[in-house]
Structure formats: structure tokens, C-alpha cells
Chains A and B, each alone.
Chain A
Amino acid sequence: MTSGTIRHWASCLWGTFRGRPLFLTGLIGLICYIIIIAAGTLFMGLDPYRQNISEYFVPPSLSFSFETGFNRFIMGTDDLGRDIFARVVFGARNTLFAAVFAAAAAAAVGIAAGFAAAISGNPVLNILRRTMLFLAATPSVLIAVLMTAIVDPSLRHVAEAVALSLLPGFISSSYRIAADELRKKYVIALRTDGAGKMYITRIILRNTAYLFAGMTARAFSTAIIDIASICFLGLGAHHATPELGLMISEGMAFIYRGNYWCIIFPGIAIVSAVLIVNIVGSALKTAIRKGVFENASS
């Protein structure tokens, strides 16, 4: 990669974000999110498992007094006196890592299979693709429930179940995109020039990369919601594990006492993560489209 290409992509990225308050907000949110998770899990010495039995249900506050210093629990504590801030940070990390794994695995396998079916025209792959069209509506909760019958529930298995439920959508849409692209004139021109299948695949992938970026971002946000939902239903992470959905499920018992902070902060963490992923995903989609096609024209 030459410095010219780097400068080109940087200018495309900056051109997408500049002057659009929504995209800029998303970008700033993403940076803050990453900093908080990295700092909280690596440098701040937080322990999501540590119980302070004498300090249960401490309400969240930013108060400061000269005797005790800053309030130790800015988001309060839960029924066992565990620091909710620590649990939210570690929970967000666990949920987001599982979601990244699910979305990336589904995207890689799905796009590869869809392209292989479209470009090779192999009948077996096509039957597989047809089947996937019907499985596109398989709910991830159903797959996760089936998995509890076979294996012990854990966050890894939830991520696998979500990846399985995202896979059919990726296969069928990448097949459709590749088939549409194959009918276009530039591909026919390349073919008559004697281009090989690998070369055509590379060109098509480059021209449709922005669509796949958008799809993967949407799959990522779906995965966050699904993983949190499955853990909320008690089919995922073990009970002590910090996980956003599970924290809300446990906090449900305390809302009748008025201890809303047990569920509000994990809730905000989930919704903001999904919103940030959606906004930054659509910004990236625009930027990649700009980068690919403006480069081609110049």
C-alpha cells in the first residue's frame, strides 16, 4: 500500500464524517466506548466479582466528601455489593466480543459460500443456497434453546448459535449480490478478455465491499441484541459472569424495591452499543463506496 492510497482512504473517511453531526456523534461514541472498556478492563483494577456485603444497594452518585473522597461506586452496587460499573464494563466487553465473533464468523463463511455458489455455478452449492433461503428466518433463540439440550450453556455456545442464525442471511444475500454483479457489462467484458474466476471474484468483491460492510455492521448489532436476549432468558452465560443481558435479568428482581440502577446502566450500555454500531456501520458503508468508486474514476 503506497502513501497515495492511504491518503486517498483517509480523505474518503474524513469526507464522510465531516459535516455530518450524526456520523460524528457515532464516531465519538465509538471512541469513548472503546476507551472506557479498554481502561476499565486493563488499567483501572476493577473486579466485577468482588462482593462488599456491607455495602449492598449503594445508589449511584458522583458525590465527593473530604472524609471519604470520591464515591467508590459511580453506578452503585447490586444486592451482593458488587460494583455495577465494573460489571457493566466487563459485561460490555464479554457481550461485544461474543457479538464480534458471531458476526465475523457468519460474514466470512456466508460471503465465501454465497460467492462460491454464484461464481462456480456448482449445483450442490446452489441447492445449499436454496435451502438457506428458507432458513433465513430461523430465530437465534430457537437455535440457542436447541443447543442447551446438547451442551452446557455458556457464552461461547450462545455466540455459535447466533452465528448459525446469521449465516443463512449472509449466504443468500451474498449470492444475490454476486449474481446481480455477474450479469453486469463490465464482468462480461472481463470474461471476454479471458479473465480467470479468481480475478473476477476479486474485482466483484472490491466493487461490492461497501454492501458487505453494511451487512456485517447490521449483523453485528443484531448479534449484540440476540446475545443479550439469550443471556437474559438464562440460556447463556453462567450466573456469576458479568454479561449485560444477564445483569438486567438479575436486576429485574429489585425494580419493585425501586433500585433501578441495577438495570438502567446495563440497558444504556446495550442500546448505545447497538446505536453506535448502526451509525458507524452506515458511515463506513458510505466511506468505502466513496473510496472504491472515486479511486476508480480518477
Chain B
Amino acid sequence: MIKFILNRLMTLAGLLFLLSVITFWVNVRIYDIDLHGQLLPEYGKYMRNLLCLNLGTSDISGRPVMDLIRDTLPSTAGLLFSSLMISLIIGISCGSTAALTIDRTTSTVLTDISIFAASVPVFLIAVFLIIAVSLNITAIPSSDELSYFYEVPRITAIRLIDILLTDSGRKSEMLYNCLLHLVLPAATISVLPAAELTRITRNSLRNVMRQHYMQAAMSRGWSVFYIVIFHGLRNALPEIFIRLPVLINLYFTAVVTAEFVFNWPGTGNLLIAAAQDRDRPVIMGIFLFTASVLLTLNSVLSLLARFTRPVTAEQAR
């Protein structure tokens, strides 16, 4: 076990080193740094800056990149968390339903819908939601995080929690407004991961339901609900964890696109704006930040897959 964790940590360290080399090379190319005979000192200088979390300053606004990330990240985190919850609930319940009703119309319909949804790009979903929902129901806005009419003091930087913490008289009104703003972006982000999760859950739970121990549990007369929640999904978890990296990719693209379309003040929107303006320090800073977060997440997921099913992970190693 310790050997496995060490192995993963070493791999992660190696990949982060590789990442720093790549970004260093890009920096050298961008700024035409003269490496004549002093490759190592230059790289050392670069790494010292990185380790002090000094990512440089924006060419456009002149603010430190780290400050920009710190300002925008909470909004993204709130959006990501709410869509994560939505897609997990919808995906796992639809997938379980499809696995339990296999060879029946419900399963076929759910599978077909999930396959069709997987072939629609995120931005089309966003545009479609704007046309179908926002243009018809004027109460649901299609831009920004909170109406300009409301002033919320910045405490935790996540708007929803800030609103709950304030003692303003219009608290419920503000909360309602904030949730309405969240509807379309969260829906956009959760569609594709929910479809993918439906397929993953369906396939892995179907395999689990075929096992003898599940049939034994069934023959004991326990309720299907109990069996699926506590035995079926528990044993389907490793399969799900192994396939989660695909979901991370989907979430990233979806969050960036949704923030861009719905003008959400998050890191994804900052990244796209920087890329369009060719604000190189911001691009490099956010790239480094996101890439290291994604790599770490991947290692954590592979550890989780190992913990939930020790036997096969030992073989797979």
C-alpha cells in the first residue's frame, strides 16, 4: 500500500517537474530569454518565482496574476460545486435506473438520450438554453453572477455563502436572485457529465448486478433500493473512479465554455479573455495552476480507485 502511494507521489512529482520544464521552455520562447550557457541558473530563477507563488503581473490590468486567480476562483468553485452535485445526482440515479431496467424501454430510452447528449458540444447546449429558457422566461437571466442592484460584502468570496452571512433586510430576495443566475450555467455544465455518468454507472452497475452475491442478496428479500445503494453502487465505485478522468476533461471544457457564454466572473472567463487579448503572463499563470490541479486530481482519483478495490489495483499496478 505504502509502495503504491509512494509510486503515485513519485509519478506526480515527475509530471509536475515536466510541467515546469514545459512552461519554462514556453517562457523562453515568448520572452526570447538568452540561454547562452546558463540554462540551469535561468531555470532556478524561474522555479524560485514559482515556488514563491509569484506568477508575474498581467500585461493588461497590471495586477499580479495570483491576485486575479484568487479573485475569480471562488466564483468558479461555487459554479463547479453546484453543477457537480446536479450531475452526480442525475447521472447516478439515471444510470442505476437504466441498469436495473435493462432490456426494457426505460433503459433503452435513457441510454439513447445519453448517447445523443454526448454528441452535442457544450456551447450548443448553452446557446439552446438561452434561446429556449432565457428568452421565454425573463426572470431567468443569461449573464453574470448577481444582479447589479444588490451589494454583497465580500467575506468568503463565494456569493451564495456571502449572502447567507449578511444581515441585510433583502436577504431572501438576494438569495433568490443569486440562485436564478445559477440556473442556466449550472444546467449547461451538468448535461454532458450527467450523460457520461449515466453510461458509466449503467455499465458498471450492470456488471455488479450479475454477480452471485447480488443474486444472493436479492433472494434474501431485501428491498431493491437498499441492495442497490449499499451493495450495488459500493461495488460499482472502482469502475466509476477509473473512468472519472474523462469526466474531469468534460467538466473543464464545460466550465470554461459556460463561463464564457454566460459572462460568469470566474477563472475560465479570465483565461479566455486573456487568451483573446494575448495577455501572456495571465495565460501562463492560469495554465500552470490548472494543469497542476488536474494532474493532482488524476493522482488522487487513481489512489481512490486503488482504495475502493484493492485486489485489481494490485494487479493493474
Contacts and interface: CB of A to CB of B under 8 A. Distances in A.
A29 to B, nearest CB: 13
A139 B249 contact: yes
A221 B283 contact: no
Residue picked from A145, A235, A252, most chain B C-beta under 10 Å: A145
Nearest to B18: A131
Nearest to B282: A149
Contacts of A137: 245-246, 248-249, 294, 298
B11 A149 contact: no
B79 to A, nearest CB: 16
Interface string A223-237: 001101100111100
Interface stretch (A4-12, A187-195, A263-271): A263-271
Interface stretch (B60-68, B178-186, B268-276): B268-276
Nearest to B274: A145
B120 interface: yes
Interface in A149-177: 149-150
Interface string A216-259: 00000100011011001111000000000100110010011000
A249 B294 CA distance: 28
A229 B14 CA distance: 31
Q: What DSSP secondary structure best describes chain A's contact surface?
A: helix
A136 interface: yes
Interface size class of B (residues with CB under 8 A): 35 or more
Interface string A110-143: 0000000000000000000011001111111110
A252 B127 contact: yes
Contacts of B12: 134
Interface string A258-289: 00100100010011001100100000000000
Contacts of A142: 252, 287, 290-291, 294
Contacts of B122: 229
Contacts of B121: 225, 228-229, 232, 245, 270, 274
A148 interface: yes
Interface string B249-273: 1001100110011000000000110
Contacts of B287: 142, 145-146, 149
Contact of A232 (B123, B135, B286): B123
Interface in A50-92: none
B284 interface: yes
B191 to A, nearest CB: 13
Contacts of A228: 121, 123
Given A145-B271, A145-B287, A148-B278, A270 B124 contact: yes
Contacts of B115: 278
Interface size class of A (residues with CB under 8 A): 35 or more
B119 A255 contact: no
A233 B119 contact: no
B295 interface: yes
A137 B293 CA distance: 12
Nearest to B276: A234
B298 A248 contact: no
Contacts of A136: 245
Given A248-B124, A260-B131, A271-B120, A139 B252 contact: yes
A132 B82 CA distance: 31
A135 B299 CA distance: 11
Contacts of B276: 234-235
Interface in B234-252: 245-246, 248-249, 252
B283 A255 contact: no
A256 B122 CA distance: 20
Interface of B: 11-12, 14-15, 18, 26, 29-30, 115-116, 119-124, 127-128, 130-131, 135, 245-246, 248-249, 252-253, 256-257, 260-261, 271-272, 275-276, 278, 280, 283-284, 286-287, 290-291, 294-295, 298-299
18 contacts: A131-B18, A134-B12, A134-B15, A138-B294, A139-B248, A140-B253, A142-B252, A145-B287, A146-B284, A149-B283, A221-B119, A225-B119, A232-B121, A233-B260, A245-B123, A255-B135, A256-B135, A271-B119
Give the top 9 A-B pairs by smallest Cβ distance, nearest first. A137-B245, A274-B119, A139-B252, A149-B283, A232-B123, A225-B121, A148-B275, A145-B275, A139-B249
